[in-house]
């Protein structure tokens, strides 16, 4: 059984093999997106800790005055 459809935008045929390749491309894109989001969250947590430390130091200085 052969699955052939038309790509609405390009007007080209899409077969199972090209659809499977597109699926693999989607998985790579999804994985990279997840890695970027994970890295962004790590950076945000690191930055929040740095800011919290800085604010605590500033509050300590003000309390001493």
One DSSP character per residue, 25-37 reads HHHHHHHHHHHHH
CA distance 17 to 47: 45
Contact indicator for 19, 3 with CB cutoff of 8 Å: yes
Mean pLDDT across the stretch 58-62?
Answer: 96
Q: Over the stretch 2-53, which tens digit does the pLDDT of each residue have?
A: 444 544 555 566 566 666 666 777 888 888 999 999 999 999 999 999 999 9
Mode of pairing for the β-strands spanning 13-14 and 5-6: antiparallel
Better pLDDT: 30 or 57 = 57
Q: pTM for the whole thing? A: 0.57
Taking the domains of the chain in order of start, what are their residue ranges? 5-64
Confidence band of 56 (pLDDT split at 50, 70, 90): very high
């Amino acid at each position: 059984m052969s699955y052939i459809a038309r790509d609405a935008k390009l007007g080209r045929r899409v077969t199972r093999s090209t659809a499977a390749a597109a699926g693999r491309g989607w998985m790579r894109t999804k994985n990279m997106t997840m890695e970027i989001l994970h890295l962004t969250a790590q950076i945000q947590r690191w930055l929040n800790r740095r800011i919290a430390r800085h604010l605590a130091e500033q509050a300590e200085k003000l309390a001493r005055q």
